[in-house]
Chain A
């Protein structure tokens, strides 16, 4: 378990939601780093060997779309799962990320998507 525990970066300005997501992912055997806004997220992303990013779209200062753009510029191979409380996201934003989902779809769905992204070979 220790060996294949992947490093996940969760970025969300919602503190409770972030904490719960961290516990959930840790329970499933991931190592989880958290950031409460886009800028902090980018710093962690640059410093740590993050293998997957679970990114909230709606955040103050810099939204998920912008954060995704910057992440792609430095480490395009790291998959990004975009979460959003909004039902419809602009197409140019969804095109940036590997997968996206609406918040509230359930824990199983989140874990399933994270898992699937980690095992999909990244094109390139």
Chain B
């Protein structure tokens, strides 16, 4: 559930009772107003009764006063009569002014006023006048008339009071009814509101609870997935064939997989939180100098780095392993470096295999050359031994001179061959000055027989002596490999061009090239297909079937790389201009890359 939906539901659940209370309040207000007006009406009835009672008392006072005066003829008895008469006018007016009278009440009041007027004018005042005049007022007829008038008045008053009381009672009943209705209404309303609030809140809470359950379920699933994926990663890391070490941003070890522990010889408890260089102690194979800590290197370059070639890992027990490794930064979401991961593997065996392959290729080259050399030596040897036989079995002095000259020529040839041969396998530890032209000429001399056997014509284009620094034995191996390849590719009737071009230092598009020389070996053979071109420098790749080891170009490239040079191939397989050019650039003063082979 969205957070906004949840907030809306909360608001709804809060607002509904408020709204219900408002409705209740309004209903209550309307009801209370209704009963208030009823109470007002009751009040009116009360006023009317009170007023009518007062009027009745005044009329009784009048009558009593009059009767007293009639009996005594004493003026003093007339006083209540007079007083009441005065007050009665006001009180009658007041009674008339009491609001809410109905027609019947108005009629009663009118009759009362008329009756009273009639009694006063038609009975009381003549009676008073008669008595004042000294007469008597004992006439029964007259008094009966007065009594009848007064009875009418009383009846009217009683009617007024009675009616008012009846109305009052009705109003009280109505008020009771109103109050009951109100209570019932409020009860029903409260009940309905309660039920509505209850149902609404329930449905809303259901929605929230469903959403909550869904969230919890989703969370649970996500947690499970996360757990599984973490397990998977752990398993992957544990089962990976390479050593993996992760470090935090300070370069302290956080995790090492079993292979890493095995290779370094430490346990994870010893290694955790230690600086990487203490556990992963690496030195250069030849110089024994400590190699830059991979974490520092990654920090410095801020990218994935392969570590320096020919690194040796010194294990906890001081044994050594040749390793190949690479380091990479671990970045968090913001792209900040959160740590480092180091991957490495034991290449001791690989190195031994590689060394063995190099040795085997050297042997293969030696074997191929041995045949050539045997031929080159046996031929002059044969001549010399035949010449010696001729001289021994008796030769004239002239013949002897001729034979000796021939023998010398043949021996000179042997010497030349043997010198060229020595150069081939004389190993040197440091680079020496090499005359490329001389070297190529010597190689061609050694190969002359083989080349003529193959029926290949060699064209040589060499300037004056060009010297570079290098390892002659290895360079001889490279060039004899390349020339053999070219000759075998072009075959009988083909041509091979061997050339040297000096290169001056140049700076093209910001890249400075060193001064040196490029040796080009070109043939007009069928060319190398684009697909094969990608593989020719790989070990064991050969197009010569059982006659090749597939190591020649691989070794050659290694040697050229070691010399800081560059070997490249250009080939054309088209019908008209087929052929291959292999170019080897060698710098005059190269930076030797030890072990780049």
Chain A interfacial positions (CB closer than 8 Å to B):
13-14, 16-17, 19-21, 23-24, 27, 58, 60-61, 63, 83, 85-87, 102-108, 110
Bound-state Cα–Cα, A98 to B449, Å: 26
> B413 to chain A: closest CB distance in Å?
9
Across the interface, A60 reaches (CB within 8 A) one of B382, B389, B390, B453, namely B453
Q: How far is the CB of B8 from the nearest CB of chain A, in Å?
A: 97
Closest 6 CB pairs of A and B: A107-B389, A103-B382, A85-B378, A85-B375, A60-B452, A104-B381
Q: A16-B409, A19-B406, A85-B374 are in contact. Are A106 and B455 (CB under 8 A)?
A: no
Q: Which residues of A contact B386 (CB under 8 A)?
A: 17, 20-21, 24, 107, 110
Decide: A86 and B371 in contact? CB cutoff 8 A.
yes
- When chains A and B are docked, how far (Å) is the Cα of A13 from the Cα of B190? 131
Minimum Cβ distance to chain A for residue B367 (Å): 12
A17 lies within 8 A of B374 (CB): no
Q: Which of A60, A103, A107 contacts B379 (CB 8 A)?
A: A103
Chain A residues, Cβ within 8 Å of B455: 60-61
A34 to nearest B CB, angstroms? 14
User: A-facing mask of B443-456, CB < 8 A → 1, else 0?
Assistant: 00000010011010
Within 8 A of A (CB), among B218-265: none
With contact pairs A20-B406, A58-B453 given, residues A106 and B379 touching in the complex (Cβ less than 8 Å):
no
CB distance from B444 to the nearest CB of A (A): 15
What residue in chain A is nearest B370 (Cβ atoms)?
A87
Give the distance in Å from the alpha carbon of A63 to the alpha carbon of B492 in the complex: 13
Within 8 A of A (CB), among B361-414: 371, 374-383, 385-390, 393, 403, 406, 409-410
Q: Which of A27, A61, A107 contacts B385 (CB 8 A)?
A: A107
Asked if B390 contacts A104 (CB within 8 A), the reply is no
What's the least CB distance linking B484 to chain A, in Å?
A: 17
- Cβ of A102 and Cβ of B378 under 8 Å apart? yes
Q: Which chain B residues lie closer than 8 Å to A107 at the CB level?
A: 385-386, 388-390
Give bound CA distance, A103 to B385, whole Å. 10
Alpha-carbon gap, A23 to B375, bound state (A): 22
- Check B390 against A24 for contact (C-beta < 8 Å): yes
- With A27-B393, A58-B375, A87-B374 given, is the CB distance from A104 to B453 under 8 Å? no
> Are A85 and B382 touching (Cβ within 8 A)?
yes
Q: Which residue of A lies closest to B394 (CB)?
A: A27
Q: Which residues in A have their C-beta under 8 angstroms from that of B377?
A: 85
Distance between A9 CB and nearest chain B CB, rounded to angstroms: 17
- Chain A CB count within 10 A is highest, among B378, B390, B403, for B378
Contact among A17, A63, A103, A110 with B453 in the assembled complex (CB-CB below 8 Å): A63
CB neighbours (8 Å) of B406 from chain A are: 16, 19-20
Nearest Cβ on chain B to A36's Cβ, whole angstroms: 12
Could you tell me the distance between the alpha carbons of A108 and B403 in the complex, rounded to whole angstroms?
A: 17
Q: Which residues of A contact B393 (CB under 8 A)?
A: 27
Q: Is the CB of A104 within 8 A of B385?
A: yes
